[in-house]
Amino acid sequence: MRPPRRVEVHTLDTDPRLRPLNDALQAAAIPCAVDARVDLYDLDGDLTPHDLRALADLLASPPLQRAVIDEAPDASAPLPPHALEIAPRPGVTDRPAASLLRAAARLLHRPLRAVARSRRLLLRGDPDAFPQAAAHLHHPLIARAALGAALPSALVLPPPPPAPLAQRIPLRDLDDDALRDLGAARRLALDDAELRAAQRHFRDLGRDPTDLELEMIAQTWSEHCVHKTFKAEINYKKLSNYGEITHQERIDGLLATFIQAATAAAAKPWLRSAFEDNAGRVALCPGWEIAAKVETHNRPSALEPFGGAHTGIGGVVRDILGVSALPIANLDALCFGPLDLPADDLPPGALHPRRVRQGVLAGIADYGNTLGVPTVAGAILYDPGYVANPLVFCGCLGVLPEGAHPRRPQPGDWIVALGAATGRDGLRGATFSSLELGEDAARHSGGAVQIGDPLEERLVIDAVLAARDAGLYTAITDCGAGGFSSAIGELAAGLGAEIELDAAPLKYAGLAPWEIWLSESQERMVLAVPPDAWDALEDVAARCGTQAVRLGRLCDHGRLILRSQGQRVGDLALDFLHHGLPRRRLEATWRPPTPTPLTPPPEPAWADDLLRLLASPDGASREGVLRRFDHEVQGGTLGRPLVGAASAGPGDGVVLLPLPLQDLPDAPGVAVGLGLNPRYGALDPWRMALAAVDEAARNVVATGADPDHLSLLDNFCWGNPTLPDRLGALVECARGCRDGALAYQAPFISGKDSLNNEHLTAQGERRAIPGTVLITAVAAHPHPARAVEAAFQADGGRIYLLGETFDELGGAAWAHLHGQGRAGEAPLLRPGALRAARALHQAMRAGLVQACHDCAEGGAAVALAELCLSGDRGAHVRLDLAYAAPDLPPHALLFSESLSRYLIEVAPDDAPAFEALLCGLPLACIGEVGGRSLRIDLRDATALDLDVDSLRDAFQRGPDGPCEVQVNNQPGSFQYES
Amino acid sequence: MRPRVLILHAPGTNRAVAAARACALAGGAPEVVSVEALLRGTREVREFQMMVLPGGFTYGDDLGAGRLWGEALRAGLGGELAGFVAAERPILGICNGFQALMAAGLLPGDGEAAGLAANASGRFECRWVELEPEPGSRSIFLRGLSGPIGCPVAHGEGRLVASSSAVAGWSSRGQIALRYRVPAGAKNVYPHNPNGSIENIAALTDDTGLVMGLMPHPEDAVTPAQRPAARRRAAGRLGLALFEQAMAWARRRV
């Protein structure tokens, strides 16, 4: 047999694909750069010279690329010292290789045996820095690399060992210490009581569990899958800041007490499904429903930012697919460490925030763009508390015809796996994500990294929607955390199932039965398919370019029975799996910090403060990020994330007209907005949650969405809940979510929590992230084509400020600017928020509002500046006219972050009608649109007067601002060899 | 009579529905057909009066954008496509479809080496652009159209690269169809030209004028509401105009 051959693809001219790599090297102050990239394809097959030439022509397209044909190296061989070779590790999804395999079969009319892909980067600069650059340019979890030497081709690496059989775990005889050791060794993430409950179960059965059974119990009982903290009974004590108990209560589960209670109280007739399925659902209009889900993918993103964010999007899109909906929009909210963090301050085992940010943004862009789902809404926050534990929230909205989501699986239905094959990737993700990150996290969790393939997911979307429309399944769920174990465990609940694990298509040989069962390989769905629909379903999958296989059948015996290689490798009672978990009893204590008054700076410099807030990493433009995300695909993004005259200003919420509704007359749209402000949480987690609900609601109301058709999603990211202080803050936060939702009479329709976001420092100190809640608001929009923008529209427009301003700068952007982040009082949600939102909505429906922007971080001054720079128009306002106490200090008028406030532009002719509609509300006309500068007066003095261009320049200076590139595209500018 | 339009779908196509909608709004009768069905012969291109290759990431764009789709068209349907054009039936390739037409050799069709490379910014670019029809273009999609024509772009590999002589040849034969509109006095062609394409060329046609490829997405600019709010009062057409011209052409030949 011939040795594998290699096609090298050299790119001529300057290769812009190197730009991001070189930007990253530069940002990390590594004194070298990548000069060129060579793509290497190793081919194993009976290839004639003619075949090789044909494949080379396919791989290299003139005039930019040139192919060189060679032999694939079977051992490491020396290369020049500036050559860095990088290849995916065995088992890591290699999409280009798989694509080439398929293409070659078509092109040559016979298949290749195998294809492997790698790349060679040629470096220039300081040779002493090459090893550092090499470390920066690949990730050891997913890639192997060699500097100055050729990597042996993956095609000559030894094959994996044969698949092991299921092992019995001697569980019954273990004492408590040995039980704990077993839990730690297998990283089961179960506490003593839970391990003992599992042990008792097998003692009762009179046998020991298999490794698969034990792993399945750990997965099913993981925090990630069963939310045991949110269901735990909590003994809660509230202390004064002197430490006396001022309040004590027994909380019968956070989820029931605070989240589901708000949903029940709202009692909305349009609610379709909350907290019981893969995603929440609400009715949008007759015949159509909206589905929504937000997830977190924090730990995978901390370890491998691209893959973590990539599969975070992939996973939440499958949640939407898991309620039979077409995905119509992706959302993301990201919390990173500061980008200017000195390298010495980086905790051991953590990646630098710059690297995390770069990988996460690339991952979100690649997955969403490839799927053809617009990425429309997001938030980015930089704070030292997220250095070791970055947060990556991934959300998705979907649309489905009313009644199109079946949930009636029957005994006898086939259990069908649809989509990608199963590998070892992402093993134990569910339990891993319930553990803390430490220095050795990366080492222990090799398998926890998931590698996505958005092309495969696109095919799965096509197949699921075609199957839905043909009525080919009776139930569907996605494979997320816990893989088949979780998906089939849920699907079979109340029924039972028998599974042949050998039927699962594998990416490569050598997987143990428990690995197949627990693998979190991406792009897989599980369906219950009636026997008479199987042929049609198999055909749909094949037509869409993916595959469906029958793993087993649903039964009515209440057991989950698994076989592999002729052995029974698992036999568990579903009732024990789903109800055998002992309920946790937890202690929680909340002691508010001692209040510190805010000291205003002695020499006010309001103009300078405003420019610095606009240029701050949290306050500055996100244009450079948003343009990397396709936010236009599907043609329904009518209220865009970038607004105003130059489509460069920050929007509040986004308004979508879902694709299937685009040709319906008078179809409503859907608006989505986010609320996130963890800085308030350090002062008061209850107020943080109130503020997040209010901000999310404001963001959709400001676009013209209906405040009476508002749904909420909650996502908590918190520290270790078994520590009473962490849990006490979480109790307060959950209570704030309820109180905020009640104030808007809005139901929670879905939520998710990510706990144990803590890490151990090199000194062994335990650190938690700032307790963080993200609230997502989803609302019906009556006129998506008339979405209101946060940009001044016309000179002469009247500017109104709706809502009352208080001295509420605790945790505010301005307080942080002056180094007083923990001083002052965080904003409070007061009665009347919904009444104001309703009145504003009536004015919008009546067409009386030209522009609207909510006051958020940076208060009224920043909101005014954004309205000006977005609209490319000046304004003259008197903030002392705002509805506020007469003695409110200037810094509060300018920068207080009081809630439920909106800045509104109204045409002069419409002003009387507008004022009549908002009669009785805290409303003040504070000025007029016009000129080329923003001038803010306070009583008799001018606080600041800034040119619109200077506002824009400051705003665009941040790390996420617009991309700058000088382009020379004149004739003859392009150089290549002829 | 509504001309029948084949919306060609390959694994990874993600804009077929929007392309079909644009054709329907322009007066056509679109149908999404998979490339597999054509390759297997269960459907035939000659059932249709027009063809659209919509956007997406066919076959994952793994070996270069549009490369594998183009190869499948060249290897499997080369004759059928040549016959389609010979029968004066238009083909429009949008974004990934343009990349595929280039890879298949249908564009620029003059044997010149030209390609669509990574954007000059090194990034995916999503933004609204304005396009100017090239005076003297042969493209049947632009007959009588004046600019500007507004629509979004969304791609990572759309920088048209070619030698000066190739560009001169296209210009003399009327093969340049659309250019990105760069305002007079702009210091930099970016971002008006979002990818750095040579001489701001956004669309090419073949020498018959029947095959056109472009990187922007005219199918996502078919109703006034799809324009960014600040541009709604501005003059100019929407991407829909291209489909209307094609439908007018096809209707005369039905």
Indicate the residue of A543, A628, A972 with minimum beta-carbon distance to B164.
A972
Residues A468-520: tens digit of each pLDDT: 999 999 999 999 889 999 999 999 999 999 999 999 998 877 889 999 999 99
Indicate the residue of A103, A633, A787 with minimum beta-carbon distance to B71.
A103
pLDDT for the residue numbered A972 = 65
Residue A201 annotated to the active site:
no
pLDDT for the residue numbered A440 = 44
Residues A727-742: tens digit of each pLDDT: 999 999 999 999 999 9
pLDDT for the residue numbered A978 = 33
* Beta strand ranges found along B104-147 (DSSP E): 114-117, 125-133
- Does residue A526 contact residue A465 with C-beta atoms inside 8 Å? no
Q: What is the pTM of this model?
A: 0.94
Restricting to B residues 116-145, those with a Cβ less than 8 Å away from any Cβ of A are 117-128
Element (DSSP H or E) covering residue A799 = strand A798-802
Question: Per-residue DSSP letters for B7-32?
Answer: EEE-TTB--HHHHHHHHHHTT-EEEE
Residues B65-93: tens digit of each pLDDT: 898 899 889 988 999 999 999 999 999 99
CB contacts, 8 Å: B55 with chain A:
372, 633
CA B161 to chain A, closest CA, distance in angstroms equals 7
Please state, in angstroms and rounded to a whole number, the distance separating the CA atoms of residues A604 and A590.
Answer: 36
Q: How many residues does chain B have?
A: 254
Confidence of residue A13 (pLDDT cuts 50, 70, 90): confident
- Does residue B17 contact residue A662 with C-beta atoms inside 8 Å? no
Mean pLDDT of A207-219: 95
Residues B3-26: tens digit of each pLDDT: 999 999 999 999 999 999 999 999
Indicate the residue of A63, A662, A789 with minimum beta-carbon distance to B21.
A662
**A173 has pLDDT over 50:** yes
- Contact status of A105 with chain B (Cβ, < 8 Å): no
SS (H, E, C) A292-315: EEEEECHHHHHHCHHHHHHHHHHH
Please state, in angstroms and rounded to a whole number, the distance separating the CA atoms of residues A364 and A332.
Answer: 8
Question: In this structure, which topology does domain B4-251 adopt according to CATH?
Answer: Rossmann fold (3.40.50)
pLDDT for the residue numbered A653 = 95
Catalytic position from the list B95, B151, B155, B157: B95
Q: Which amino acid is at A141?
A: L
Q: Which amino acid is at A315?
A: G
Of A447-461, A941-955, B218-232, the range with the lowest mean pLDDT is A447-461
> Which has the closest alpha carbon to A197: A560, A581, A584, A722?
A581
Q: What is the dihedral of CA A680, A684, A689, A690, to 10 degrees?
A: -100
Residues A138-151: tens digit of each pLDDT: 887 778 899 999 99
Question: Per-residue DSSP letters for A129-186?
Answer: GHHHHHHHHS-TTTEEEEESEEPPPGGGSPPPPPPPPP-B---TT--HHHHHHHHHHT
- Exposed, middle or buried by CB within 10 Å (0-12, 13-18, 19+), for A941? exposed
**Helical H runs in A669-723?**
678-681, 685-701
Confidence of residue A431 (pLDDT cuts 50, 70, 90): low
CB contacts, 8 Å: A58 with chain B:
63, 67-68, 71
Please state, in angstroms and rounded to a whole number, the distance separating the CA atoms of residues A488 and A499.
Answer: 9
Residues B27-55: tens digit of each pLDDT: 999 999 999 999 999 999 999 999 999 99
Of A142-151, A801-810, A811-820, B89-98, the range with the lowest mean pLDDT is A142-151
- Does residue A77 contact residue B177 with C-beta atoms inside 8 Å? no
Ramachandran class of A377: left when φ > 0, alpha when ψ lies in -120 to 50, beta otherwise: beta
- Does residue B3 contact residue B30 with C-beta atoms inside 8 Å? no
Quote the mean pLDDT of chain A. 92
Across the interface, whether the CB atoms of A19 and B198 are under 8 A apart is answered no
- Contact status of B234 with chain A (Cβ, < 8 Å): no
- Give the start-to-end residue ranges of the domains of chain B: 4-251
Count helices and strands (H / E) in chain B: 6, 12
> Which has the closest alpha carbon to A702: A936, A900, A922?
A900
Question: Per-residue DSSP letters for A641-668?
Answer: SEETTTT-EEPSSEEE--GGGTTSTT--
Mean pLDDT of B213-227: 96
Residues A615-661: tens digit of each pLDDT: 999 999 999 999 999 999 999 999 999 999 989 999 999 999 999 99
- Does residue A295 contact residue A319 with C-beta atoms inside 8 Å? yes
pLDDT for the residue numbered A428 = 63
Residue A14, C-beta contacts closer than 8 angstroms, at least 6 positions apart: none
The first and second tokens of residue A553, run together, are: 């059948």
The phi and psi torsions of A364 (rounded to 5 degrees) equal -65, -45
Residues A215-236: tens digit of each pLDDT: 999 999 998 888 999 999 999 9
Q: Which residues pair with A294 in a beta bridge?
A: A395
Element (DSSP H or E) covering residue A612 = helix A606-615
> Reading across the β-sheet that carries A375-382, which strands appear in turn?
A271-273, A280-285, A288-296, A391-401, A326-336, A375-382
**B64 has pLDDT over 90:** no
Please state, in angstroms and rounded to a whole number, the distance separating the CA atoms of residues A957 and A954.
Answer: 5
pLDDT for the residue numbered A439 = 42
Residues A536-584: tens digit of each pLDDT: 999 999 999 899 999 999 999 999 999 999 999 999 999 999 999 999 9
Please state, in angstroms and rounded to a whole number, the distance separating the CA atoms of residues A647 and A871.
Answer: 9
Q: What is the dihedral of CA A926, A931, A932, A936, to 10 degrees?
A: -20
pLDDT for the residue numbered A362 = 94
* Beta strand ranges found along chain B (DSSP E): 4-9, 29-34, 50-53, 91-94, 114-117, 125-133, 149-155, 159-162, 176-180, 201-205, 211-214, 237-238
CB contacts, 8 Å: B220 with chain A:
632-635
- Contact status of B147 with chain A (Cβ, < 8 Å): no
Residues A40-50: tens digit of each pLDDT: 999 999 889 99
Catalytic position from the list A136, A297, A352, A631: A297
Q: What angle do CA A801, A806, A811 make, to 5 degrees?
A: 110
Residue B28, C-beta contacts closer than 8 angstroms, at least 6 positions apart: B2, B3, B4, B5, B50, B243, B246, B247, B250
Residue A297 annotated to the active site:
yes
Closest A-chain CA to B22: A635
Q: Which residues pair with A937 in a beta bridge?
A: A878, A942
Mean pLDDT of A375-403: 96
Residue A579, C-beta contacts closer than 8 angstroms, at least 6 positions apart: none
Query: What is the share, in percent, of chain A residues with pLDDT greater than 90?
Result: 78
Three-state SS at B43: coil
**A975 has pLDDT over 60:** no
Residues A26-44: tens digit of each pLDDT: 878 899 999 999 999 999 9
Residues A743-775: tens digit of each pLDDT: 999 999 999 999 999 998 878 889 999 999 999
Across the interface, whether the CB atoms of B120 and A371 are under 8 A apart is answered no
Cis peptide before A784 (omega within 30 of 0): no
Mean pLDDT of A363-384: 95
Closest A-chain CA to B166: A971
The phi and psi torsions of B181 (rounded to 5 degrees) equal -85, 115
The more confidently predicted of residues A715 and A973 is: A715
The first and second tokens of residue B50, run together, are: 């027009």
**A438 has pLDDT over 60:** no
Confidence of residue A90 (pLDDT cuts 50, 70, 90): confident
**A185 has pLDDT over 70:** yes
For the CA atoms of chain B, what is the radius of gyration? Answer: 17
Has the ipTM of the complex gone over 0.90? yes
The phi and psi torsions of A394 (rounded to 5 degrees) equal -125, 130
Please state, in angstroms and rounded to a whole number, the distance separating the CA atoms of residues A375 and A314.
Answer: 12
The first and second tokens of residue B214, run together, are: 């472009």
Q: Which amino acid is at A515?
A: E
The first and second tokens of residue A202, run together, are: 């097998």
SS (H, E, C) A708-744: CCEEEEEEEECCCCCCHHHHHHHHHHHHHHHHHHHHH
Q: Which amino acid is at A680?
A: Y
Count helices and strands (H / E) in chain A: 32, 41
Residue B88, C-beta contacts closer than 8 angstroms, at least 6 positions apart: B208, B210, B253
Mean pLDDT of A443-453: 59
Q: Which residues pair with B129 in a beta bridge?
A: B151
CB contacts, 8 Å: B230 with chain A:
643-647, 789, 791
Element (DSSP H or E) covering residue A288 = strand A288-296
Please state, in angstroms and rounded to a whole number, the distance separating the CA atoms of residues A698 and A894.
Answer: 19
pLDDT for the residue numbered A1 = 58
Confidence of residue A158 (pLDDT cuts 50, 70, 90): confident
Confidence of residue A684 (pLDDT cuts 50, 70, 90): very high
Across the interface, whether the CB atoms of B56 and A626 are under 8 A apart is answered no
Element (DSSP H or E) covering residue A57 = helix A49-59
The first and second tokens of residue B56, run together, are: 């997406």
- Does residue A328 contact residue A415 with C-beta atoms inside 8 Å? no
Q: What angle do CA A140, A146, A152 make, to 5 degrees?
A: 105
CB contacts, 8 Å: A372 with chain B:
14-15, 55-57
pLDDT for the residue numbered B109 = 82
Residue A289, C-beta contacts closer than 8 angstroms, at least 6 positions apart: A272, A281, A282, A283, A325, A399, A400, A401, A402
pLDDT for the residue numbered A680 = 97
Please state, in angstroms and rounded to a whole number, the distance separating the CA atoms of residues B95 and B101.
Answer: 10
